[in-house]
Amino acid sequence: MRHASFGILSAALLLASSAQAADVAAGKAKAEICAGCHGDNGISQTENIPSLAGQLDQFIQWQLVFFRAGARKNEQMQPIVEQLTNDDIRNLGAYFASLAPFKGGKDDNPELSEKGKQAAAGRRCASCHTDTFVGTKAVARIAGQREEYLVKALHDYKSGVRSGGAQAAMADVAYPLSDEEITALAHYLSHL
C-alpha cells in the first residue's frame, strides 16, 4: 500500500511539473519499445492490447505512473515502466496524444451497436468519457478502441482484477453489466 501511495504522490508531482514542455520527438524515440505490442503509430494490431494513438496526454501519464508504482499490474508492462523517468513519461504522453486515433471501421452489426448505445446511455458513460467518448484529461478515450480489449477491460473492472486509476468508479459501472451488455457496449464504442 505504501508503494502505491508513493506512486500516486509521484503522479501528482509529475503532473504538477507538467509546465515543463514535453518533447514529442523524444517520446517517439522512447515509444519504439511500445510498438511491439501497441503497434506502429500507437494503433494496436494485437488482441487484448489497447491502441494508444490519440489517448489523452494526462491519461497516458497517469497509467504509466500507476504501472511504475505497481498500483496497476501487468507482467509485460512492469519491467518496461520501471525504467521510465518522469521526463520519459511526460514525453510518451505528449507523443501518443499527438497521434491520430484509430477511426472505427464499418459497423458490421448495427443492431448490436444500438444495444451498446443504449447501455452507454443507461450507465452514463458520457459523464466521464464525454458525449463523443474521446475522454478528457485523465479519462480514457474509448471511441475506436479495440473491441476485444474493451470487453476484457470491462470484465476486469467488473471482477476487480483491474486496479489503479478510476477502478472504483469503473467497478461500480461495470459490475451490474451483463455479458451481453458488455459485448454490445464494446462493439458500439469500437465502431465510433
- Where is the binding site for heme c, in residues? 34, 37-38, 77, 125, 128-129, 170
One-letter amino acid for residue 160 of the chain: G
Cα–Cα distance, 95 to 108 (Å, whole number) = 32
- C-alpha grid cell for residue 184? 454490445
Q: Where are the beta strands (DSSP E) in the chain?
A: none
Q: Angle at CA 157, nearest 5°, toward 133 and 49?
A: 65
In this structure, the chain runs to a length of 192
Half-sphere exposure of residue 45: CA atoms within 13 angstroms, side-chain side:
5
Measured CA distances, 2 to 7, 15, 69, 169, 185 (Å): 9, 20, 10, 22, 36
Cα–Cα distance, 35 to 62 (Å, whole number) = 19
One-letter amino acid for residue 115 of the chain: K
- Per the annotation, binding residues are 34, 37-38, 77, 125, 128-129, 170
